[in-house]
Structure 1
């Protein structure tokens, strides 16, 4: 017994050392990166958020919030914080990049320093090595890359937060795009989501005016679906079926025998990014036609079908000219869809109808249904990305201007606490719709083709159709249904008359201007 007591410290040390040594050997054998361990990732995120919080407190704490010095200092601390968050997203990868992309999409809700800095994550996400991706293909498909494909481009045609896409050729000569999930994504996801939840709660405790719980809630709900590529493939086929009558829409075909929950093999589709004006000019693709088609598609998704593709950033929307000369829009990445309840969809229809009509009482009533209370003017500005002055005058009456855009972005910083309060109170379904709207506006802004009266008329048509269909489904007799149909058709006919009148008016003004220009006396050198 005394011998055992003497040997116990050495045995204990040997056991601990052996366990640690065995653990290190195992981690090395599976090529585990210490930076990928949950505790390290959590510590890194907590450290960065802590630095950001301290920076805000020290920089702005003693300044007069109405002074120019405060405004300049706030802009600088926004920029420093955005850079720190960008670096954190790139180091932790996966879920963090997804959240960074979500923040970057909220162009009219957050300070421009955050949006501009984090926007690069859409196109510049960290890449996995070909060796790592080959392991995923071997594990999931049971064969090496060379056994499945005759060619496989080593450089990805797209790298995103969850996966990257490579162009390849099947044995029969068919060109495909192969989407492969980053190897460690699923292993890190649960830890990363828990980390984000803890951090946003910590921020809410330190800064009660900044409530970002909706970010972690949406990430926790949507990320598992986005990581399942079989779910994405099913979405792809569903949307192709629903919108088969939209001749301009192209959705890639899925090769199910070469797809798993981590590998998605699909038809390779040609095209340029939807924001590439030079590509459109070279291929004679009308920019206004592209934005009108996108507006038509998304109005149908949101107001009529209630099934919405929620990630239309430029890398996921391509434009092309078909062999018959028609404009084609290719919709990629179908991992994130929002299914809207009938109640929310119809309430949202009513809200937009009141916004288009500039009916302030109806705007207030519909905003209250969405949980905004007395904050309805700010809520209307968030929904439309227009100033309250423009909303009350009619958003279809005058296009948005650069000065109005600048005013809205500046006010986003001033009303950040009120905005986050609204986002925490609105129905969860609205959050992805807001993100989608901002991504679509970003495309319009890049193409210099902002929504006009014609766009709002298209939205109104979809709202009228949706509300009419709902009333028909709840009508209990022939007379009621007949009256509803007549009223619905009259509303649609009135919108058509209004659209024709707008076109005639714009054509008349153009002809008048052209006539005046022709009447100008020529100036010759004396």
Structure 2
């Protein structure tokens, strides 16, 4: 937990936004129940007796975030020189967007209400009610829900809550977000998830959420369908449409890579799937991409990947035998239309046929271009190799300095955001010294 801001500053912020504390609340606890990078949470009671929690944004946090974003932009520029094949700009733009949305508590309140509507039919998921008369862009007032932190395993066991069932409920909730709702909670760390007997899960903190757009969902649906049909080319085209693979004249290297991955994972039995770790699959795919075609992560999927990784780790801690891929499979089948029946099934097939007809002229044109171009030949001469080795040698002299400098720069940003200004300052100074050293080295070479 980030060190809390002194209560007088918090009280001043609440007074500026809502009015004097004694006029709005019958009680207001001075010690926060939680504190994070942008604000802290206090328990309180309204004049009508309702027990609530008040999330208060730190005074002056906007200026701090603006400075951190400028620092991140500088670090990204350095990293872009080292990794030109990777689209690092999306990291900067996505970070800026997410932080900007997190600073608006009115938007967070709207997000909470959207999630409450999405899970209205699921009694196992609870979302706190927003008290709009006591909510502004800087202060968010929510219903207080009593729960156990999801990683407090001793308390969970004492309450007799089945951890295996709890892991399943959590995985199903996120599968619904990802595959059916298209809007997902982007920060599933233990401080944002609580449990109570049932088991029931309480989700809080809806500042970091993301939505998968309709075009991206349609491309994602085609990607899943291509996996089911063992259609490597179709999967690559879907990945191109989603922005994972840059649109180039020759997509055959990407098709070959996808074909290899499909052959490895497509025919796994349910028993084998259950035995696999999603982190293991991710590491294998990333290792393949190191030798395959250049890829980039679209903005809409950066937070998605982070959420899946955090969810997998949390589920494994709750119950090592729970496999989130297996739990999510029914939701994925519904997503691609595998369970559609009657008119719904006809609509799915009609949309699929319509997409194929629309894409036919484009596919035919690409086929004619590829056929006319013939097989691609690549020739490498000894001179080419020598030149490349000399380039690698020059870059290698500054690589360690660049990585250390960029790493210190990123550390400075993260330390500042998480409430460690002194450590952030030292990391920033170290980054500046290392990058200056790198600049002098490059100037000499």
TM value normalised by structure 2: 0.66
CA deviation vs aligned residue, 1:247-291 (integer Å, no higher than 9, x gap): 111110111121110110111111122233323222222223223
Note if 1:464 corresponds to 2:340. no
CA deviation vs aligned residue, 1:7-62 (integer Å, no higher than 9, x gap): xxxxxxxxxxxxxxxxxxxxxxxxxxxxxxxxxxxxxxxxxxxxxxxxxxxxxxxx
Between the aligned partners of 2:13 and 2:291, the Cα distance in structure 1 is: 45
Residue 316 of structure 2 aligns with which residue? 445
Three-state SS of the structure 1 residue aligned to 2:4 is coil
CA deviation vs aligned residue, 1:172-195 (integer Å, no higher than 9, x gap): 332211111111211233332232
Three-state SS of the structure 2 residue aligned to 1:464 is coil
Residue 180 of structure 1 aligns with which residue? 56
**Does the 8 A contact of 2:172 with 2:327 survive in 1?**
no
Note if 1:436 corresponds to 2:294. no
Structure with max Cα Rg: 1
- Higher deviation after alignment, 301-310 or 400-409: 400-409
CA drift at 1:198: 2.3
Between the aligned partners of 2:345 and 2:61, the Cα distance in structure 1 is: 42
Between the aligned partners of 1:439 and 1:380, the Cα distance in structure 2 is: 28
Runs of at least 5 residues in structure 2 that lack an aligned partner in the other structure = 246-250, 355-445
Seen in structure 2, the aligned counterparts of structure 1 residues 376 and 271 have a Cα distance that, compared at 3 Å, is farther
Residue 9 of structure 1 aligns with which residue? none
Residue 194 of structure 2 aligns with which residue? 318
**Does the 8 A contact of 1:304 with 1:465 survive in 2?**
no
Between the aligned partners of 2:57 and 2:256, the Cα distance in structure 1 is: 42
Between the aligned partners of 2:346 and 2:104, the Cα distance in structure 1 is: 37
**Does the 8 A contact of 2:25 with 2:47 survive in 1?**
yes
Note if 1:309 corresponds to 2:185. yes
CA deviation vs aligned residue, 1:400-447 (integer Å, no higher than 9, x gap): 6589857965996x679679953xx34321222112211211211221
Note if 1:245 corresponds to 2:121. yes
**Does the 8 A contact of 1:346 with 1:467 survive in 2?**
no
Three-state SS of the structure 1 residue aligned to 2:115 is helix
Q: What does residue range 338-357 of structure 1 map to in structure 2 within 5 Å? A: 338-355=210-227
CA drift at 1:136: 0.9
Q: What does residue range 107-122 of structure 1 map to in structure 2 within 5 Å? A: none
Note if 1:132 corresponds to 2:9. yes
Residue 44 of structure 2 aligns with which residue? 168
**Does the 8 A contact of 1:212 with 1:420 survive in 2?**
no
Residue 334 of structure 1 aligns with which residue? 206
Three-state SS of the structure 2 residue aligned to 1:312 is coil
Three-state SS of the structure 2 residue aligned to 1:456 is helix
**Does the 8 A contact of 1:364 with 1:376 survive in 2?**
yes
Note if 1:256 corresponds to 2:127. no
**Does the 8 A contact of 1:151 with 1:169 survive in 2?**
yes
CA deviation vs aligned residue, 1:366-391 (integer Å, no higher than 9, x gap): 4344333545788899xxxxx87862
Residue 155 of structure 1 aligns with which residue? 31
Between the aligned partners of 2:84 and 2:224, the Cα distance in structure 1 is: 31
Question: Whose RCO is larger (CA < 8 A, sep 6+)?
Answer: 2
**Does the 8 A contact of 1:225 with 1:335 survive in 2?**
yes
Q: Alpha carbon RMSD of aligned pairs, Å?
A: 3.6
CA drift at 1:227: 0.7
Seen in structure 2, the aligned counterparts of structure 1 residues 185 and 168 have a Cα distance that, compared at 3 Å, is same
Seen in structure 2, the aligned counterparts of structure 1 residues 379 and 214 have a Cα distance that, compared at 3 Å, is farther
Seen in structure 2, the aligned counterparts of structure 1 residues 193 and 251 have a Cα distance that, compared at 3 Å, is same
Runs of at least 5 residues in structure 1 that lack an aligned partner in the other structure = 1-123, 382-386, 481-526
1:394 maps to which of 257, 260, 268? 268
Three-state SS of the structure 1 residue aligned to 2:122 is coil
CA drift at 1:209: 5.8
Seen in structure 2, the aligned counterparts of structure 1 residues 194 and 404 have a Cα distance that, compared at 3 Å, is closer
Between the aligned partners of 1:177 and 1:376, the Cα distance in structure 2 is: 52
TM value normalised by structure 1: 0.57
Seen in structure 2, the aligned counterparts of structure 1 residues 132 and 221 have a Cα distance that, compared at 3 Å, is same
**Does the 8 A contact of 1:133 with 1:180 survive in 2?**
yes
Three-state SS of the structure 1 residue aligned to 2:202 is strand
Between the aligned partners of 1:221 and 1:353, the Cα distance in structure 2 is: 31
Residue 143 of structure 1 aligns with which residue? 20
- Higher deviation after alignment, 193-202 or 460-469: 460-469
